[in-house]
């Protein structure tokens, strides 16, 4: 019996997804774990892997098609296995093979978590140009690989890909540069700069950002509470721990924040929840999403069971998630099940900001940079290490007093960081 592949449900509120690209075509052989297709949701573009090896007997939707969750999209058969493709096609409601589809393949972009205001920079117009190899075939590369190659003046077509389906990823460009690969000729400088207005059509990414941000703010009555945290104890403990840890396990400031936010949520279940109609659904697990900047927007991979993980385990999980997100190798499981989100713009020297709630969650924590600032302590002017944290919360689920108590709890964990190790 053939292995039937359906549109996966990649989030609590996901109803449909867009099939961006078939990585493997009908009639091709495929091994278990190979990337079959790329699917785009409101949260991310993810790769769908084959659950079994064999031959792709049929593909039931075309590239660019919007497909409801659970609908059949492909069938994988064992070599030589007879498959009644027409009967399967009838189940999908499709009377023609996907090769007849006239849908335009979507550009691979990773839609953002809903954070304002910084992430709203539009992608460069040049991104619409897709390089091809010498035979006219599209060169598939992750966004960070394209950017790295462009910054280094390297023709992306000269780099060999080792990622899924032969995709060029960050490590391929790094290896090419280390090997002394030839750089592309520098482009000629423009002789004049146009001062005419330019009309740029909104990309799918921009449209998704606008729609989701509008939906979130219209559906969820936002309110905001800010506190200042003394980060000196956490920074001191971080230095001591990192002195004992190998390079690939070192703990970041954000790891401390994720752990503190997760532990505090145990005491405030109304903030680890979602709203469904006239009901508040308190989530049994505490899964913290990380707002990660990628080319063209943000993506929110999820640290599962963050309250149960040690700081070192959070560091390892976060590093892997961020790496895959930035290389365009995010997995469906990486973006599933988020119950709360942390957005950190501290690396951009941002002092504080407010974030828009990432539905269907009911709260998001926005943190700024850790700064040396003048403080008054016991009547004496001194230098302090401070960070501002702002929670955006949904008034249907909670109120200002509860949000304030939550932030006080987060602050207590960070100002007495040994509690994070218990």
Domain identity same for 37 and 148: no
Residue 117 domain flag: no
Are 96 and 128 in the same domain? no
Q: Are residues 276 and 390 in the same domain?
A: yes
> What stretches of 192-301 adopt beta strand conformation (E)?
222-230, 273-276, 279-282, 288-290, 292-294, 297-299
Measured between alpha carbons, how far is 112 from 212 in angstroms, rounded to an integer? 9
pLDDT digits (tens, 9 = 90+) for 300-341: 899 999 999 999 999 999 999 999 888 877 887 898 899 999
Q: Looking at the structure, tell me whether residues 64 and 162 fall in a common domain.
A: no
Q: Are residues 140 and 225 in the same domain?
A: no
Q: How far apart are CA 307 and CA 274, in angstroms?
A: 18
Q: How far apart are CA 108 and CA 141, in angstroms?
A: 10
The pLDDT, as a whole number, for residue 164 is 60
Residue at 200 is within a domain:
no
> Is-contact 355 364, C-beta < 8 A?
yes
3-state secondary structure of 61: coil
Dist. CA 62–CA 192, nearest whole Å: 43
Q: Which of 26-30, 46-50, 112-116, 198-202 has the lowest mean pLDDT?
A: 112-116
Q: Say if residue 344's pLDDT is above 90.
A: yes
The larger pLDDT score, comparing residue 151 to residue 11, is at 151
Supply φ then ψ for residue 248, to 5 degrees: -80, 5
Q: Show which residues are catalytic.
A: 395
**Of 148 and 368, which is predicted with more confidence?**
368
pLDDT the model gives residue 204: 61
Domain final residue pick, 178, 212, 246: 178
Phi, psi of 42 (to 5 degrees): -70, -15
Q: According to the model, what pLDDT value does residue 128 have?
A: 37
N- to C-terminal Cα separation, the chain: 51
- pLDDT exceeds 60 at position 147: yes
Q: What is the pLDDT of residue 296?
A: 65
What digits encode the pLDDT tens for the residues 229-256?
Answer: 999 999 999 999 999 999 888 999 999 9
69 and 131 co-located in one domain: no
Number of structural domains the chain divides into: 3
pLDDT at residue number 181? 65
Q: Are residues 344 and 413 in the same domain?
A: yes
162 and 88 part of one domain: no
CATH of the domain at 306: 3.30.559.10
My answer on whether 345 and 287 are in the same domain is yes
pTM, rounded to two decimals: 0.69
Overall average pLDDT of the 42-63 stretch: 85
Instruction: Judge if 309 and 362 occupy the same domain.
Output: yes
Evaluate whether residue 337 is within a structural domain: yes
pLDDT confidence band for 122 (50 / 70 / 90):
very low
Give me the domain span that covers residue 231.
Answer: 221-421
Q: Flag whether pLDDT at 157 surpasses 80.
A: yes
Instruction: Judge whether residue 5 has pLDDT over 60.
Output: yes
Pair 266, 286: CB distance under 8 Å? yes
Q: Is the pLDDT of residue 352 over 90?
A: yes
Last residue of a domain, one of 178, 196, 211: 178
CATH of the domain at 12: 2.40.50.100
pLDDT of 266-304, one tens digit each? 999 999 999 999 999 999 999 999 998 877 677 889 999
Give the whole-angstrom CA distance, residue 178 versus residue 182: 11
Is the same domain home to 356 and 416?
A: yes
The answer to whether residue 94 scores a pLDDT higher than 80 is no
Q: Which of 67, 100, 133 is the last residue of a domain?
A: 100
The CATH number that applies at residue 133 is 4.10.320.10
What is the dihedral angle through the alpha carbons of 34, 39, 40, 45, rounded to the nearest 10 degrees? 0
Residue 126, token pair as written in the block: 């040049």
Close Cβ partners of 308 (under 8 Å, ≥ 6 residues apart): none
170 within 8 A of 4, measured Cβ to Cβ: no
Residue 343 located in a structural domain:
yes
pLDDT at res. 136: 47
Do 39 and 19 meet the contact criterion of CB atoms below 8 Å apart? yes
pLDDT in the model for residue 15 = 77
SS3 278: coil
Give a yes or no: residue 206 inside a domain.
no
Span of 131-145, 210-224, 235-249 with lowest mean pLDDT: 131-145
Residue 312 lies in a domain: yes
3-state DSSP call for residue 151? helix
Q: Which residue from 354, 355, 391 is spatially nearest to 272, judged by alpha carbons?
A: 391
Q: How far apart are CA 255 and CA 261, in angstroms?
A: 10
Q: Compute the distance between CA of residue 253 and CA of residue 251 in angstroms, rounded to an integer.
A: 7
Instruction: Please report, for residues 36, 92, 202, 287, 295, the alpha-carbon distance to residue 5 in angstroms, rounded to integers and kept in the order given.
Output: 10, 12, 32, 27, 30
Residue 99: the pLDDT is 38
Q: Quick one: pLDDT at residue 202?
A: 72
197 is a domain residue: no
Please check whether residue 209 lies inside any domain of the structure: no
Do 251 and 152 fall within a single domain? no
pLDDT at 9: 78
């Amino acid at each position: 019996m053939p292995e039937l592949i359906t549109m996966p449900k990649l989030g609590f509120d996901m109803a449909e997804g867009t099939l961006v690209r078939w990585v493997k075509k009908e009639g091709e052989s495929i091994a278990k774990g190979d990337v079959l297709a790329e699917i785009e949701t409101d949260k991310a573009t993810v790769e769908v892997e084959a659950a079994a090896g064999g031959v792709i007997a049929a593909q039931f939707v075309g590239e660019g098609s919007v497909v409801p969750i659970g609908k059949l999209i492909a069938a994988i058969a064992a070599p030589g296995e007879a498959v009644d493709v027409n009967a399967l096609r009838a189940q999908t409601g499709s009377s023609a093979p996907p090769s007849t589809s006239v849908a335009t393949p979507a550009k691979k972009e990773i839609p953002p978590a809903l954070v304002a205001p910084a992430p709203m920079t539009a992608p460069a117009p040049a991104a619409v140009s897709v390089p091809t190899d010498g035979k006219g075939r599209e060169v598939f590369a992750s966004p960070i690989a394209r950017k790295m190659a462009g910054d280094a003046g390297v023709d992306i077509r000269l780099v060999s890909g080792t990622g899924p389906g032969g995709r060029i990823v960050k490590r391929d460009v790094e290896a090419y540069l280390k090997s002394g690969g030839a750089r592309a000729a520098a482009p000629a400088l423009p002789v004049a700069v146009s001062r005419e207005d330019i009309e740029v059509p909104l990309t799918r990414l921009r449209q998704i950002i606008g729609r989701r941000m509008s939906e979130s703010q219209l559906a969820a009555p936002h309110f905001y509470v800010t506190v200042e945290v003394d980060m000196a104890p956490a920074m001191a403990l971080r230095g001591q721990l990192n002195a004992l840890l190998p390079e690939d396990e070192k703990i970041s400031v954000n790891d401390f924040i994720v752990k503190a936010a997760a532990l505090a949520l145990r005491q405030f279940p109304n903030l680890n929840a979602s709203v469904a109609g006239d009901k508040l659904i308190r989530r049994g697990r505490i899964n913290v999403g990380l707002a990660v900047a990628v080319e063209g927007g943000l993506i929110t991979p999820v640290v599962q069971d963050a309250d149960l993980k040690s700081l070192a385990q959070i560091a390892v999980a976060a590093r892997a998630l961020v790496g895959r997100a930035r290389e365009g190798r995010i997995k469906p499981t990486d973006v599933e099940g988020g119950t709360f989100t942390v957005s950190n713009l501290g690396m951009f020297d941002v002092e504080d900001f407010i974030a828009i709630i990432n539905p269907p969650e009911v709260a998001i924590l926005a943190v700024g940079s850790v700064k040396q600032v003048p403080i008054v302590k016991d009547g004496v002017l001194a230098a302090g290490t401070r960070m501002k944290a702002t929670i955006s919360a949904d008034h249907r689920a909670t109120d200002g007093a509860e949000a304030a108590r939550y932030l006080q709890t987060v602050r207590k964990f960070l100002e007495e960081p040994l509690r994070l190790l218990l």
